[in-house]
Amino acid sequence: VIVDGVHHRTVVRDGPVVDLIDQPRLPHHFARIRSETLEDTARHIRDMTVRGAGAIGATAAAGMAQAALLGSGDVLARLEAAATVLRATRPTAQNLFHAIDTVLDAARPVSGSARLEAALRAADSVIEADAAACAAIGRAGSPLFTDGMRIATHCNAGWLAFVDWGSALSPIYRAHREGKRLFVWVDETRPRLQGARLTAWELQQEGVDHAVIADNALASRMRLGEVDAVITGADRIATNGDVANKIGTYAVALCARAHGIPFYVAAPRATFDPTTPHGDAIPIEERAPEEVGYTWGRDDAGAFRRVATTGSPCRNPAFDVTPAELVTAWITEDGVHTAPPASR
């Protein structure tokens, strides 16, 4: 992301330190945070200081490198222990598991000092591959968007959700830089408001015309003919093409189908799970009910405000599954696929 003319990657490995954009402080304050221990790195993933499938994967890769570099004793034992800690942070984003497995697979067959080198190389390759894939998704997807189009998106699958560029927003940024005038409807994305807080902020940095709407406003915009296409990201894609993404995506896809509007999903190959045959087998994270019962984000006095009736239980499923039949095309680093692309 470019902030005040300076290019920032969302996740940077700096030796044994993991350097992150502090996302809960956005959009009102831009700051970076340096995570110096594996425990802190895992906590930053769990509490969503860093969030978004690609950024979670890159942070996990850097966390594995951190574990390999810090401490004493057998490197492989440290990596395996770190893998257990990191796997327990968030269950849905496939990129997390892909990153951990990539580092373990690189370290296991080698021994001695070569093992540490192999782990670090693999961690860096996960981070670089994420950035490269997102840039390629932008190139592949931008031709779908022509001058004057009005595009809807849900949640944040932009720069902040990856190391760089993003998935769903990458084709929009690319098309915008190619000179196309685009307009983006930004779903606010309750409960954590990734749309209102993060996507809108990113679009502002890049100068893309947009408006934030309540999640329940998009259907009427479609009915009024004000939406030409939808593009979202994905947290995990099953081999049959079913897509797990931020809660609310399924409703958007159903509305798009009802109004004959194309529904695109953009994701790097690292989001495709070769071991999950269909969406019902994807683990769906349920987060703390307080995220629903309170407005997410602090008021001027620094407090979270309760909005739900006191005493009423809240439920907070963080993701839903959109069946493949509602997806017009899957956009990956190797192109636009109108049938579910084989996973890896």
Q: Which residues form the interface with ligand MRU (CB under 6 A)?
A: 51-54, 155-157, 161, 167, 194, 232-235, 245-246, 318
The nearest distance, CB 330 to ligand MRU, in angstroms, is 13
Whether 284 and 319 have beta carbons less than 8 Å apart is answered as yes
Partner residues linked to 145 by β-bridges: none
70 or 314, CB closer to ligand MRU? 314
CA distance 127 to 157: 16
The nearest distance, CB 93 to ligand MRU, in angstroms, is 6
The nearest distance, CB 130 to ligand MRU, in angstroms, is 10
| 3-class SS string, 75-112 | HHHHHHHHHHHHHCCCCCCHHHHHHHHHHHHHHCCCCC
CA distance 58 to 74: 23
The nearest distance, CB 116 to ligand MRU, in angstroms, is 30
120 or 241, CB closer to ligand MRU? 241
User: And the tokens for 200?
Assistant: 């809108």
Continuous H helices in the chain: 38-46, 53-69, 75-87, 94-107, 113-141, 169-177, 194, 200-206, 218-223, 249-258, 290-293
For tokens 């840039």, the residue is 135
CA distance 191 to 145: 29
161 or 326, CB closer to ligand MRU? 161
79 or 264, CB closer to ligand MRU? 264
User: Which residues form the catalytic set?
Assistant: 235
